Amino acid sequence: MKQLLRLILAKRILYSATKVSLVVGSILNLVNQSEHLIAGQGIMVGHLLLNYLVPFCVSAYSGAKALASQINLKN
């Protein structure tokens, strides 16, 4: 578990997860909050944060697991 956390915090995993989060999170916000924005109700901040956080976590975890399996294959 410590190795996986260390891999998640690696610069290349964080950078990649951030890029994925920005793209996917923006699309999710448009899909999930478009009705509220069109109605003039504004953005729900909690949903906005989750729409970026979830793809970030999934991407970071997936990247770290893939990197861990590559490291284990080489050893």
Residue 11 domain-assigned (yes or no): no
Residue 51 domain-assigned (yes or no): yes
CA-CA distance, 50 to 2, in Å (whole number)? 25
pLDDT at 58: 97
Encoded amino acid at 55, one letter: P
Residue 12 domain-assigned (yes or no): no
Complete DSSP assignment for 39-66: TT----HHHHHHHHHHHHHHHHHHHHHH
- Domain count of the fold of the chain: 1
pLDDT at 35: 87
Is the C-alpha dihedral spanning 12, 13, 15, 19 positive or negative? Answer: positive
Per-residue pLDDT of the chain (75 residues; tens, 9 = 90+): 888 899 999 999 999 999 999 999 999 999 999 888 888 888 889 999 999 999 999 999 999 999 998 887 665
Residue 4 domain-assigned (yes or no): no
**Which residue segment(s) compose the domain that 50 sits in?**
18-74
Whose structure tokens read 């991407």? 59
Residue 26 domain-assigned (yes or no): yes
Q: What is the pTM of this model?
A: 0.85
